[in-house]
Amino acid sequence: MFTWIREKLGLPGAVVICIIAVGLVAYSAFGRKDEAAESSSERMFICSETMKTFQYKVKVGDEWPVRSPYSDKETGWPAEKCYWTRDGGAKREPTYVLLNEYIGKDEPTICPDCGRKVQRNNQRPPAGKWRELAEREKQQAAAQGD
Ligand SMILES: [Zn+2]
| Same domain for 120 and 97 | yes
Higher per-residue pLDDT: 1 or 137: 137
95 Cα–ligand 1 center, Å: 6
| Same domain for 45 and 33 | no
117 Cα–ligand 1 center, Å: 8
Q: Which residues pair with 72 in a beta bridge?
A: none
Which tens digit of pLDDT belongs to each residue from 13-57? 666 665 667 666 666 665 554 444 445 688 999 999 999 999 999
Which tens digit of pLDDT belongs to each residue from 53-104? 999 999 889 899 999 999 999 999 999 999 999 999 999 999 999 999 999 9
Residue 3: domain span = 1-40
| Same domain for 30 and 88 | no
CB–CB of 133/84 below 8 Å?
A: no
121 Cα–ligand 1 center, Å: 14
Number of domains in the chain: 3
For residue 125, count CB atoms less than 10 angstroms from its CB and return exposed for 0-12, middle for 13-18, buried for 19 or more. middle
| Same domain for 85 and 60 | no
**5 pLDDT more than 60:** no
| Same domain for 97 and 66 | no
